[in-house]
Structure 1
Amino acid sequence: MSNVQCAQCNNKPACNADTFFESQLFCWEKNFKEWTATKGKRVCTNGLCFVGINKGEKVQGCGKCSDLQNLSKCFNCSHPLCNDETKLSQIKCYRLATNQRPNARKSKTCHPSYDSCYIARDIFWRTEQNCGECPAIYENCIKCNHTDFCNEDSLLPLSTTGETRTISRASSTTTSASTKKEPTTNFIKHTTHRSSPRSSAQINKKDNKMLALTCNVDSSDRDVSTS
């Protein structure tokens, strides 16, 4: 009989009718780190079932919340199998992964072990929203729990980093301008061509050639006149 629910009576003949069994208090039972809850096989003589959260794990059974330790949440009830996890408060959050488009954001009812929502932005300022605490990988993250769906975009607006991003872009532009190279003189299609200026030596050489040519012309003219 250890694997079935059982209620025992001896107060009158034929006491073990269906109505008697249905009036008995059975609770959902789940110990710490067990995977799933099972229907209790023993009548809860305490008169109260409970469901609570112990270090992020759901626990269920027969007993008073006030008699239990290490529970961050706890709920008591007195109806058969009343202590399911839906009795615990569950915050609702927006859920979005950084590799999803903003319009893919969904509404999510969080597991009872979560008491908060968060919104975070990665190094590319893509958004992540979900239930729980801020993940350690994010430097820019805000947690909230004052209301359902509190992890709105407005909680961590892009404008809060607008100055930093603008300064970063401006300094990058300044750096690239200071290190800008002159266009090459290679004649490649669709490029800007610029001829390099001549040196002073080349200019002087040309002037000397012009002077020598002028002198030769003058001497020729004198020879013609004397003849």
Structure 2
Amino acid sequence: MSSKQKTIKPFTIHHLLFTLRLLFTVYHGKQKTDHRKRTVNGKLKTVKATSGFTVVELTIATAVFAAVLLVGLVSFLGVGKVYYKGVSLTQTQAVAQQILTQLTADIQFAPTIVTAKATGDGSSQFLCLGNIRYTFNLYQKVDLADHDNQSKFGLLRDSLPGSTGCNSPFGDGAVSLNNPTELLGNKMRLAKLNLTPAKDAAGGNVTDLWNLDVKVAYGDDDVLTNPGVENVTCDANLTSTQFCSVNSQTTTVSRGL
């Protein structure tokens, strides 16, 4: 036993014209007919023929159809903007969280901690958590298509060989980077990386307790406000804010746990 499946035909401008004609007919009364002389079976007779669509009806139908398409296009673009904004927020938050997690683990198992200081050439900074070294360029946008381990990087993590101590990767007495890993994604920049001892009520340092602050920004310079400082934000006045995101992560870590 077979069943026939009905196919739903798409709504076209032709259907819109008929709908408008029906509305006009209901509003104005009976539809006008066109009386024409035609030859039927060899005899000239008067027949009734429904008149075609007028120019006014065609114009109105076209305008309504264009308005519907415009509303659909605006809605589609709005959904796309929300989608890309969500992607930017999610990716930036994920990277910031991964950096915080990696730093937290390294702090917990570090026998010694050396807080951030300038590299030998002064172009970047570095810190050491045991034999794990982090070298970073604050506010430097990462471009993975044009990336190196000298100046065009964001946040690099590598392992110091042997017992070399916490030496700078650049400048005099440098210990070169050892297969470093870039922790930032494309078009991301490190806006903050602060590792400071936690304070007690009297203002003194708490032994083996550290405050860690990480801030990551995503986007080109033209979609960011103050891209070269710590308080970088997305420019809310632009229509392209879906391609911008800033995420901050903060935690307190106990060394030795």
Band of TM-score, shorter chain: under 0.3
* Structure ID, larger Rg: 1
TM-score (norm 2): 0.23
TM-score (norm 1): 0.26
Higher relative strand content = 2
